[in-house]
């Protein structure tokens, strides 16, 4: 495969890369997003995503390794140029443009006793990324993003998820679509609310369950509260009565796994 050597920030391919890094509109219109780093790229390939273009810096990522990556185009970049386009210096010299892969709820493959995480209108990419790492650690069946306020292929989300955005089953949809799908699959809906009547550790999470978490600022909408099968809460004994959404998700998720005797181990 022919390899171009790029050295200028004004090169059209570099301009496209920078635009995709910075603008969600650009990502949506072109159906492309940026992946930076060896671990993230490996997760992307494992998740079945198609690599469009590869950019590599040979002092950090060899030409031989670059040629092994299944992609359409390969570009070598100079050390100076790489320092300008890389988000962080520890990404081992490789950046890729990747084709989007949208997954619908109907495509999910569920276990016999599924555990699903549902996030409604979570805004901060770092929180969503942390939840995806929890889902990966616990082998959760799926993560559903309802009414998303952040781009699923935001570079900050990809970094904070450590690439698990690609290896988890993840879909975005409306709350109504998600709720209908959960009911069709006989998955009980557990909403987390400060005013809830039942402690999370006293709830029966051994059956097919969906843990529904709200946004950092607003919490859960009335829609989810009205459609809940069970309303649960985490004990709070400090001055502040709210945990970070990713921390709360991890607490309840691993309680469900404990009740199931960590059957995935």
pLDDT at 90: 63
Mean pLDDT, contiguous 10-residue spans, the chain (265 residues) = 90 97 94 95 95 96 95 95 84 93 94 97 91 96 92 92 95 96 98 84 96 85 94 82 86 96 77
pTM: 0.92
pLDDT at 96: 97
pLDDT at 202: 93
Q: Which two tokens stand for residue 204?
A: 């029966």
Kindly report the number of other CB atoms within 10 A of residue 179's CB atom: 21
pLDDT at 265: 54
pLDDT at 148: 84
pLDDT at 49: 96
Structural domains of the chain in order of their starting residue, each with its CATH number:
3-99 (3.30.1330.30), 105-259 (3.40.1280.10)
Angle between helices 245-259 and 125-137 (to 10 degrees): 10
Q: Exposed, middle or buried by CB within 10 Å (0-12, 13-18, 19+), for 211?
A: buried
pLDDT at 204: 96
pLDDT at 142: 98
Residue 127 CA to residue 130 CA, distance in Å, equals 5
* CA-to-CA dists, residue 102 to 49, 123, 169, 264, angstroms: 10, 20, 11, 27
Residue 27 CA to residue 18 CA, distance in Å, equals 11
Q: Are the C-beta atoms of residues 96 and 71 closer than 8 Å to each other?
A: yes
pLDDT at 89: 62
pLDDT at 215: 79
């Amino acid at each position: 495969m022919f390899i171009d050597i790029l050295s200028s920030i004004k090169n059209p391919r570099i301009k496209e890369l920078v635009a995709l890094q910075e603008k969600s509109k650009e990502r949506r219109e072109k159906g492309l997003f940026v992946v930076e780093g060896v671990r993230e790229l490996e997760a992307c390939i494992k998740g079945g995503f198609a690599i469009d273009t590869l950019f590599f810096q040979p002092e950090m990522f060899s030409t031989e390794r670059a040629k092994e990556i299944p992609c359409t185009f390969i570009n070598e970049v100079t050390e100076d140029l790489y320092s300008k386009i890389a988000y962080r210096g520890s990404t081992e010299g490789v950046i890729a443009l990747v084709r989007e892969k949208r997954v619908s709820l109907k495509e999910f493959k569920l276990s016999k006793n599924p555990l699903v995480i549902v996030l409604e209108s979570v805004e901060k990419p770092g929180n969503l990324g942390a939840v995806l790492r929890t889902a990966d650690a616990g082998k959760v069946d799926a993560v559903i993003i309802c009414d998303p306020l952040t781009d699923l292929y935001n570079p900050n989300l990809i970094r904070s998820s450590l690439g698990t955005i690609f290896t988890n089953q993840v879909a975005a949809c409306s709350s109504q679509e998600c709720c209908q799908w959960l009911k069709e699959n006989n998955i009980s809906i557990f909403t987390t609310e400060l005013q809830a009547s039942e402690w999370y550790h006293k709830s029966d999470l051994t059956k097919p369950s969906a843990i529904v978490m709200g946004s950092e600022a607003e919490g859960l909408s009335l829609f989810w509260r009205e459609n809940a099968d069970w309303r649960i809460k985490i004990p709070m004994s400090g001055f502040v009565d709210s945990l970070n959404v990713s921390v709360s998700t991890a607490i309840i998720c691993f309680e469900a796994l404990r009740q199931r005797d960590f059957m995935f181990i």
